[in-house]
Structure 1
Amino acid sequence: MIKVGITGGIGSGKSTVCALLAARGAAVYDSDAAARRLMEEDGFLREGLVARFGAAVYRDGLLDRSYLAGVVFGNALALADLNALVHPAVRRDFEEWAARQTGDYVVLESAILFESGFDAVVDRTVAVLAPAEVRVARACRRDGSRPEAVRARMAAQTDDDTLCRRADFTLVNIVEEELEPAVDELDRRLRHENQVRQHAN
């Protein structure tokens, strides 16, 4: 089957696109949720986190997220070390998960698809894009965030022009009525590509 990576900045609607593809029968892997789970459950990853950040990173056997966030916030080296531990674990978990799925394609949802190197484990990449002000309004509505906080997060993420250049497909998500037909077309193209591959083999 085809592995598809879907990415987009805050408020772009990548989770909406993933939900629409799931409604069309695709299995979706949420890399953020997987990372949180693996930091709790993966013994090898836990050992690595303790070795790098100290025993205080776990409290009563559970990951102390606020402590870890305080350690890596504003510390590029610590954040890079965290990513170097977590990303390989997520990558292994995704590949094992994908091997258990059926269907024409599976979806890897990741806000940092290219930055993490996860694009190397998928066959096709999709960037979900939206105008900046639309994204700010969505994120404020969804999270109760202040507009300036959302803009700061956007500034720290890969810009849409770069995503557009790097992705195989782009979906512009401004109004849902127009998004659904675009998702239908993406679903059709991915299924067709997988069928062509199967016939070629």
Structure 2
Amino acid sequence: MIIVGLTGGIGSGKTTVAKQFEALGVPVYIADVEAKNLMHKSKVIKRKLIQLFGDKAYINDVLNKYYIADIIFNNNTYLQKMNAIVHPRVARHFEKWSLKQDAPYVIKEVAVLFENGGHIACDYIITVTAPKELRIKRLLMRDNTTKDKIKSIMKNQWTDTEKIKYSQYVIDNVDLEMTKNQVVGIHEDILKRIGKI
């Protein structure tokens, strides 16, 4: 199976781009969504997160994401430890999922694709970019958050320049219509590269 990694900084619009690939019939795996599912379903992950963050990690069996977010984005060590618990299990889940797909290629959307070394397993990589101020504006509208929290998350992610160095494709996600055109162009190019058109 050909794996295409889709990444980009927080607020760049990865999910918007992922939905556009889905509309073209490409199976899409959203790693953040699956990670949250596994944090709720997996007894092993739950136990390890409680060991790491204490009893407040779950309230009434539901992940206390605001409590955990406060800790990990103020302390990089906790972020790395949490990633070491969750990411390997998400990677295994993705492998099983991709084997069930019947398509020329699949998209794996991961916010921290490079940061966690996931790019190594990808055949091609697409990085979604947008100006920093626009990304901050989008996030303030979308999430119950602050500029400080957003900047703290951005600090833990590679810059666009670093990501682009290792990417075969870049989508500048500022205008929706232009983004759609870029997605169609990339889709056709990938199909050509893998000999499907």
Structure 2: state its 5+ residue gaps. none
Pair 1:13-2:23 in alignment: no
**Residue number in structure 2 paired with 1:65:** 65
| CA positional deviation for 1:166 | 1.7
- Between stretches 140-149 and 24-33, larger displacement belongs to 140-149
Residues 136-164 of structure 1, C-alpha deviations (whole Å, 9 max, x = no match): 33333333655565445434432111111
Aligned counterparts of 1:67 and 1:145: Cα–Cα separation in 2: 13
Residues 66-86 of structure 1, C-alpha deviations (whole Å, 9 max, x = no match): 443344342222221111001
Structure 1: state its 5+ residue gaps. 197-201
TM-align CA RMSD: 2.3
Number of aligned positions between the proteins: 197
Task: Give the letter aligned to residue 3 of structure 1.
Answer: I
- When residues 51 and 105 of structure 1 are mapped into structure 2, their CA distance, relative to the original with a 3 A threshold, is same
Aligned counterparts of 2:52 and 2:140: Cα–Cα separation in 1: 35
What SS does the aligned partner of 1:139 have? helix
Task: Give the letter aligned to residue 82 of structure 2.
Answer: L
Aligned counterparts of 2:133 and 2:64: Cα–Cα separation in 1: 34
Contact 2:73 2:153 in 1 (8 A): no
Contact 1:57 1:64 in 2 (8 A): yes
Residues 42-96 of structure 1, C-alpha deviations (whole Å, 9 max, x = no match): 2322232234334443333332334433443422222211110011011111111
**Residue number in structure 2 paired with 1:107:** 107
Larger Rg: 1
Alignment of 1:64-143 (within 5 A): 64-143=64-143
TM-score by length of 1: 0.86
What SS does the aligned partner of 1:113 have? coil
**Residue number in structure 2 paired with 1:193:** 193
Contact 2:28 2:107 in 1 (8 A): yes
Contact 2:5 2:109 in 1 (8 A): yes
